[in-house]
Amino acid sequence: MKNLKTTRIENDGAEVFASVTASGERYPIPEFLVTRFRLLIFGGKGGVGKTTCAAATAFYLALNNPDQSFLLISTDPAHSLADCFGNSPAISNLILNEINPKKYAISFKAHFGKHLRTIAMRGTFLDQTDISRLLDLSLPGLDEIVALLEIADWVHQGKYSSIIVDTAPAGHTLRLLELPEVLRRWLDTLDTMSAKHRYMMQLYRGAYTKDAADLFLEETAERLNRLEKLLRDPAQCRFVPVMLPEELSIHVTRTMIAELRKLRIPISEIVINRLAPPVSDTACRVCVAREASQAVAIKALRRAFADFTLWGLPYFMEEVRGTERLADVWNHVHQQNARNEDNDPQQPVDAAVSIIDIPAVVDNPAPLPQHSLKLLLFAGKGGVGKTTLACASALHLTEVREGEILLFSIDPAHSLSACLRQKIGDTPVRIAKGLSAVELDAEAEFGKWKRNYIAEVENAFKSSSDKSGIDVAFDRDVMERISDLAPPGLDEILALMRIVELMESGAYDLFVLDTAPTGHLLRFLEMPELVEDWLRVFFSILLKYREILHLPKLAQDMVALSKQIKSFRRILTDPAQTALMLVTIPSMLAYEETQDLAIACHRLRMAIPVLFVNMVTPPSFCPTCSALRSGETLILRRYESIFADRHITQIFQQTKYQGISQLIALGQALYSKGSP
């Protein structure tokens, strides 16, 4: 690496960090490479290079501080840290940990299960069998809570000089960082359950002595306090957004930063990845258009993020994989702040400059989805273009088939509005003839469900008004608070319920789903089976205690939901009714994740008729494009080998596709002209 030591320099009156080369040259570098933050979190939209930046930072810190130890963690269910390091030799003072959700869920139940059973026995009328059955149910997102507490504990123990975290794409990262508030509600509810027991002991024995269950609540509350303090301490924690110089990435990053500020999580620097090199006089139209589009985005993001220090990384000709290339990443970093106007690309920023003479699809367009389909999912790694292809496909299908289509986003970090350039909300919005779109508001959906639940609980306890005394008051409080024990994976559940509800309405003939990235999509696809398990347990409990807790509306809703879930499961695994369009790009990290997703879909009996390989560099005599295409060709051959039984459509890289007219053109290019 070219830096030998780090110092501080004055830059426009501000103190910044710099590396000093052997020749005495000084150049500025990000603060997160110098200041020893106890917790360093990289986040952003899918596909922007979070894993690369997190891995390169961890490797940089470990290499430059051999007497200290570092931990690099992935909280993304679709891990790619190991793939990023490839088969490169490990470095002794850097530990990699790709968090295993099942391991942490098992650990949680093994460590806390006994105390939770005790608290539930004291605070509810459920018996030990009922409580055991409830605790044995899978709770999506439980692993995230336990993992976050574990990370805070590791920081507290001081075993590592710094813990670097590679997160899931933006929507699920925000949910991860909101978990302390979720856990606080859990603890408040569990404490309410214990309140009745403490009151009775105080009443009849005259005193109450804390036991193991109370100490468990206190210990967990202390861990939670440490976690919240850590996440909000700018001296110990730093969140580093990573983004691309693209409109969709700016939209997601701006939304993410606004939410992080509400959570008071410190941010001071942003990494802008994959900046195109300056074009030469002999540059091809692809390179010219790419830089022109990027110039517009850079000016926009400098205005949007003027309060932050912006760092740029170039578009590397070879994929950053393995320790040799990871070690070189931060040698190419440079400031991109608004005051550096001299560094702005000088090419004319003309919206008309586009790759109009290079079609998106030249050979082998995809066959049209068959008319019998009810559900069309676009799935893949974050940042491969799922939203764009889902929008383009939905618009095209309205032209070639009859009936109503609903374009539905189940990704917490919604991008339909930005892609369509039209405001989309949580109720269907008309986009074009035969097409509507909706972005689920999980928080609003849960609020509606919670209000209905509490109202019915209150009515149930009113009917028991003849039972005076403390029992009814405590039990009512507990039953109302139980809704706060909802798992953090609730958005997948609510998305499923909303889709089922809309399917039952009969208002739409086809649902086109813009899905969450791989890890959380798989959790969504497994959700119908989990919900059926929950319903079986809840049915038996409601039946067993029908004389004590009479909730007819809830029971009725559960019966209806059970029927709907069974119907949805049949649709999901029927290739005549459901198809999953797999979207990927020609990179090794995407290739590895696409393989994993295809295997998981086969296990779930999901049909994958088409593989879209997006963002392929078109053939060119241009040195830059030729270098990029050379590496991509090897990966394209791998796709052709492992997906030999699937239809593969290559989509050449374009400047951008946003707005209805451009998306319609893309949709027409994606599919063959024949009948489905």
Q: Which residues pair with 436 in a beta bridge?
A: 406, 430
Half-sphere exposure of 530 (CA within 13 A, CB side): 19
Secondary structure (DSSP) of 200-216: HHHHHHS-----HHHHH
Per DSSP bridges, beta strands 5-11 and 14-20 are antiparallel
Q: What DSSP element (H or E) covers 432?
A: strand 429-432
AA identity, residue 38: R
Secondary structure (DSSP) of 349-362: --TT-S-TTS-S--
76 is catalytic: yes
**133: its two tokens:** 């059955």
373 SS3 class: coil
Q: In what order do the strands lie in the sheet with 435-439?
A: 429-432, 435-439, 405-409, 510-514, 375-379, 578-584, 610-616, 647-652
- DSSP state at residue 329: G
The burial of 262, by beta-carbon neighbours within 10 Å (0-12 exposed, 13-18 middle, 19 or more buried), is given as exposed
Tell me which residue has tokens 């269907």.
428
**98: its two tokens:** 């790709």
**641: its two tokens:** 């080998």
Residue 276 neighbours by CB under 8 Å, 6+ apart: 287, 290, 291, 294, 315
Rg for the chain, CA atoms, rounded: 27
State the catalytic residue, choosing from 12, 67, 76, 188: 76
* Residues labelled catalytic: 76
